[in-house]
Amino acid sequence: ADRIARNGDVANKIGTYSLAVSCHYHRIPFYVAAPLSTFDLSISAGKEIPIEERSGREVTYIWEQLPITVENATAWNPAFDVTPAALIHGIITEKKILKPPFEKVVEKLKFNGLIQKNYEELIV
């Protein structure tokens, strides 16, 4: 995972949400692997996670040279999607596997000093 909100919602590469939905439908447990430093306690839920948007040319052109759509077509091309905590069976970290409800587990880890208060504190 690239970033995890306090409630356990996860931002990861595009396609993660679709995979989680498929696993949920087929009753297959879906796990996320992430270091504890990925938790951003300044974000309460996934809807607050900023999502990077890539150039639409990445999906409307081959090698950004050969068009594969009609002229002047545009495309929305997010680099990440958000997977709701409700679809996640557990989060595998370097310390342990965290189980829902994630918000309670995250508060305990914060209290024990295992995760930082804000994601920005981790950026040097």
Q: Which two tokens stand for residue 114?
A: 């295992």
Q: Measuring CA to CA, which residue among 4, 41, 5, 8 is closest to residue 116?
A: 41
Contacts of 99 (CB under 8 A, 6+ apart): 89, 90, 105
Phi, psi (degrees; rounded to nearest 5) at 37: -65, -10
Angle at 38 between CA 41 and CA 113, to 5 degrees: 60
Of 2, 9, 40, 81, catalytic: 2
Per the annotation, the verdict on 9 as an active-site residue is no
Give the active site residues: 2
